[in-house]
Amino acid sequence: MHEIIVSSQMPVLALRGLVVYPAQTVHFDVAREKSVKALEKAMEQDQILMLLPQKDILNDDPSVDQLYNLGTVVKVKQMLRSSGETIRVLVTGMYRAQITEVNQTDPYMVARVEMVEDKPYTLTTKLRAMIREANMAFRAYMDLQQHNAQGLQLKMMASTDPGFIADCIAQYAAFDYPDKIKLLLQLNPGTRLDVAMKLLAREIEMVSIELEMQNKAKASMDQNQRDYYLREQMKAIRTELGEENEEDEIASYKDRIRKLCLCEESEKKLLKDVARLEKQPFGSSEGAVLRNYLDTVLELPWNVTTKERVDIQAAQKILEKDHYGMRKVKERILESLAVHQLAPNMPPQVICLVGPPGVGKTSIAYSIARSLNRNMARISLGGVRDEADIRGHRKTYVGSMPGRIISAMIQAGSNNPLLLLDEVDKMGADYRGDPSAALLEVLDGEQNATYRDHYLEIPYDLSNVMFICTANTLDTVPRPLLDRMEIIELESYTDEEKKMIAEHHLIPKQMKKHGLKKSQLKISTDALEDTIRCYTRESGVRSLERLISKICRKADLILVQENAPKKVTVTSKNLEEFLGVRRYLPEHQESEDAVGLVTGLAWTSVGGEILQVEVNVMDGSGKLELTGNLGDVMKESAHAAMSYIRSHAKELGVASDFYKTKDIHIHFPEGAVPKDGPSAGVTMCTAIVSALTGRTVRKDVAMTGEISIRGRVLPIGGLKEKTMAALRYGIHTVIIPEKNERDLEEIDQLVRSKLHFVTANMVDTVLKTALNPVETEMPVLQQMPIESAACEHKTQIQQ
């Protein structure tokens, strides 16, 4: 404890905005004249000074009434004069005191003071808890302020005086001036500590908020400074590398847009987006979206056109070199060239190539592009279900991109390419839209000159684009889409065509891939024919190419072994050493004519097949049984044949009550294979008549045609494939509907030369041609009408 001195002439110094508490060491500046003189007087005496806080901090010369009556007696520890009249003074508080008498007010104040003691208190448990809580709160406050007050905190922890702890908190905490006065005037230590804790809690909350705001402001300022610094660095780096800066980029965009010579609407839209980009801050996400958009638009071939080939002979030579057959497709392309030569402004037509897998739909499109000297891009539409895949996504979405049509135009690099829409029949539709509906505008020559992609938002001209679509079937293609396309059907290859394709294209291609020379591998003609007949069942040549590749691999293996031969020869005899056991054995004719056994012709997705029909007639009650995994249409054809036979029983030599006394069983072998369609109608009718009359059926005759209940023979489809199957089976005579006679022009000339065709308008002609005469009749008499009919129809075909 400091010595308590009561002096009759103790100098008094007025404090404004500052409060000094007992037992606290504080330094402050003294500048007012009265204050300086009072300080000097105290230093001349015993360095004891009375500090009184003034009520109005704006008053430079307060009177006694304008000072609080209670203050603190301090001892001056140090006084330091700085520049000017300001004095830095260090004091330590001794005790609270009040003025009892003012002895002097000028040139400085002197007064008689007396000590004021705190009220007595009892150190209860509650008070101890308050002291502990006050120490913890003060430590937290000092940590927030980042002040090193370890010595003070140790003193506070060692003290049990609540008044001292409250004075320490009041001295070092940034309380408001009125709150500090309130704590100075409070003489109850417990109450003073309670008030100090409440004020400290409020101050801690305020300091926390201030710090949070400061941190945010600092982080924002640091980020801005960092961005500015990096921008400056990037500018310097670009300058060193000779690259354009942001201003040059904007100018480049504007210049490139104006050079495109777009329509006013499109140019205005793009320049507006460039202006928006110019206002974007560096590194903003909106800026990245606009850059991607402008780059995509400027990548489009707005004014890039390839010069189309107009030399028809050169184009024909390319088409013939790349593909064997496909006469219709080649003719159509040459027609397009001829039209373009005479009418250059006519937009190209949309062509749809329809055919089974592997017949060369996609590859012929590449050849067409080469023959026309057009760039090409392929768009695979198989499995596409989203309309946005065609039209694109709006650029407001994250990761948006243009549709496949615009992307293909960028890939092609010209505004008059050939776009191949592959597998157009395999598109789907779901809740995201129907992509086939989006293609309507693309393929419509009246609309696609102003095609709008969702991503571009400006019109793009597709009128110079040549579209070629491919499909395996037209059943799943919407009718409005079909209406915009010219359909060209590609039929299955005949065995002869497959052989020619293999010899001229597939074998040289695979030998080159496998590093084989012509002098190292030879595949004989009979081996190639056996490969086609005994190892493949397809309409195209994909499986055939895989088998040739397998032969080449086996040949490579033979040629790299020790003591290897210089040349590998593949023949029909050693073919199984290269390809394994034959999968499909050749179909052979029956050894002799039989009753109730007729050879029909069927079409499948992999080509034509022969279809034998067996009929048994048994005593019974008139039941008709159909077996062989038949469809509803085929069953209806059997009933139609039965109706015809019942109505013409007398002319056919059949018992009039056979439908009551006989059970008829019609069976189609290979029951695991589903069968349907009307073209087996005449076949079933012939087999039933043969079984009922006992007349044998010629084994070298095959037939196809739909039957009506009046006995008319109606036209069928797939004649080319069916006749190929007949030739493979060794058939000599083929009965076809009369209305299919025009289709014979589409059949391969080799097939036509080896088969004899009989056209039939009524079932009578079919029966006369296919059925042998009854054995009891004279063979010569019975054969004459048949031969006459055959000769008659043959003459009709030749005409």
Q: What's the CA gap between 315 and 266, in Å, rounded?
A: 38
Question: Which long-range contacts (C-beta less than 8 Å, at least 24 apart) are formed by 150-159?
Answer: 159/131
Q: Which residues pair with 713 in a beta bridge?
A: 707
What burial class does residue 145 get, using C-beta atoms within 10 Å of its C-beta: 0-12 exposed, 13-18 middle, 19+ buried?
middle
Q: What's the CA gap between 314 and 306, in Å, rounded?
A: 17
Strand duo 756-760 + 733-737: pairing: parallel
Check 499, 679, 690, 720 and give the catalytic one: 679
CA angle 718, 723, 728 (to 5 degrees): 130
The DSSP result for 754-798, as a single string, is H-EEEEESBHHHHHHHHBPPPTTS-HHHHHHHHHHHHHHHHHHHH
Q: Which residues pair with 662 in a beta bridge?
A: 619
Structure tokens at 299: 């990548």
Q: Taking a C-beta distance cutoff of 8 angstroms, is the pair 40, 93 a contact?
A: no
DSSP state of 476: T
Structure tokens at 632: 């509803």
CA angle 190, 193, 196 (to 5 degrees): 150
Q: What's the CA gap between 660 and 623, in Å, rounded?
A: 8
The DSSP result for 130-152, as a single string, is HHHHHHHHHHHHHHHHT---HHH
Determine the residue type at 135: N
Structure tokens at 193: 């500590």
Q: Taking a C-beta distance cutoff of 8 angstroms, is the pair 417, 376 a contact?
A: yes
Check 180, 361, 662, 722 and give the catalytic one: 722
Q: What's the CA gap between 334 and 108, in Å, rounded?
A: 121
> Is 679 a catalytic site residue?
yes
Q: Taking a C-beta distance cutoff of 8 angstroms, is the pair 65, 54 a contact?
A: no
Per DSSP, the three-state class of 594 is: strand
Q: What's the CA gap between 685 and 151, in Å, rounded?
A: 120
Burial 542-575 (b: 16+ CB within 10 A, else e): ebbbebbbbbbebbeebbeeeeeeeebebeeeeb
> Is 722 a catalytic site residue?
yes
Q: Is the dihedral of CA 585, 590, 595, 601 positive or negative?
A: positive
Q: What's the CA gap between 688 and 696, in Å, rounded?
A: 11
Residues 6 or more apart from 631 whose CB is under 8 A from it? 674, 675, 676, 677
Rg of the chain taking only CA atoms, in angstroms: 54
Q: Report the half-sphere exposure of 47 (CA within 13 A, side-chain side).
A: 13
User: In this structure, how many other beta carbons lie within 10 angstroms of the beta carbon of residue 743?
Assistant: 17
Q: What's the CA gap between 787 and 563, in Å, rounded?
A: 63
Structure tokens at 535: 């190892």
DSSP state of 702: E
Per DSSP, the three-state class of 451 is: strand
Q: How far is CA 734 from the centre of its chain?
A: 53
Given its phi and psi angles, is residue 121 left (phi above 0), alpha (psi -120 to 50 degrees) or beta? beta
Q: Is the dihedral of CA 218, 220, 223, 228 positive or negative?
A: negative
Determine the residue type at 790: A
Virtual torsion, Cα 164, 165, 169, 171, nearest 10 deg: 20
Active site residues per annotation? 679, 722
